[in-house]
Amino acid sequence: MYPKLFQFDTPEFLRGILPDHIVVFSYGFFIALGILLSFWYAKNKVKKFNMTSDDLASLYMWTILAAFVGGRLFFYFEDLDKYLADPSLMLRLSGGGFVFYGSLIFAIPTIIWWVRKRKLPIREFLEIVAFIGPIIHGVGRIGCFMAGCCHGKVCDNPLGVTFSHPDTLARPMHEALYPTQLFDVGINLIILLVLFWVIKRKAFSGQLFLIYIVLYAIGRSINEIFRGDEARGFVFEGFLSHSQFIAIILLILAGIVWIRWKKKPDGSL
């Protein structure tokens, strides 16, 4: 695919401050696009909470920071011995290096903290997050596909995609691999369609958020079967990937919270 979306020469008046050439990487571009699209969606939805665009921007700033830290930390945990042996590797941001579940696990408490601080209805707000998450994640996975990270196993059927760009992160190159990045795009699209269908039929406040967590955990667990980047690591002697293990924990927690919230129509946690 195309890890570098495009490149252009830096204008003369900026040279010396910026590099001579500016490269726009596909991964970062699509992550940014997902954030912008989700912000556009959320901007209209949070008006009922009397939130301004500045308020929403503040929330996004905190959440993006938390997601960055969480995604990076979980990436280190996948091969902790490697990074303890050479801590300088932790400073390298190239070559991928983020775990979605790490970002999610850090982002959600940050959102709850921010919402609680402003005395807004948490469960109702999380239902907006249920749409924001798949938008950012789904669009961002297109960037993963372009960069070649989060790739699948070698594929011997028509679903396979061959990565041949010299800067691709996919391995092995020049062999058809399962496009697991696009599978994830499909999972997030299905989640959005289900949420839009359920929104008029939900039984309690916060249900949409729990549906998002449950559906992605199921979809991600299935998608992991086709993933080929084995450096992510496994647990229980290779029986489960880290993401499958986290998905199971989240499914259990979501089930417990589902029962609890259904018994609390007042919207409290």
Count of structural domains, the chain: 1
pTM: 0.91
| Residue 84 maps to a domain | yes
| Residue 183 maps to a domain | yes
Strands (E) in the chain, as ranges, are 4-9, 21-25, 161-162, 176-177, 234-235, 240-241
Domain that holds residue 167: 4-262
What pLDDT score does 81 carry?
A: 62
| Residue 59 maps to a domain | yes
What pLDDT score does 229 carry?
A: 78
Task: Count the alpha carbons within 13 Å of 242 in the hemisphere toward its beta carbon.
Answer: 15
Q: Contact, 8 vs 21, CB < 8 A?
A: yes
| Residue entry with tokens 């900026």 | 14
| Residue 269 maps to a domain | no
| Residue 257 maps to a domain | yes
| Residue 202 maps to a domain | yes
| Residue 215 maps to a domain | yes
CA-wise closest residue to 68 among 22, 33, 99, 109 = 99
CA-wise closest residue to 174 among 160, 188, 159 = 160
Reduced to 3 states, what is the DSSP secondary structure of residue 265?
coil
- For the chain, residues with pLDDT lower than 50 are 94-95
| Residue 161 maps to a domain | yes
What pLDDT score does 84 carry?
A: 58
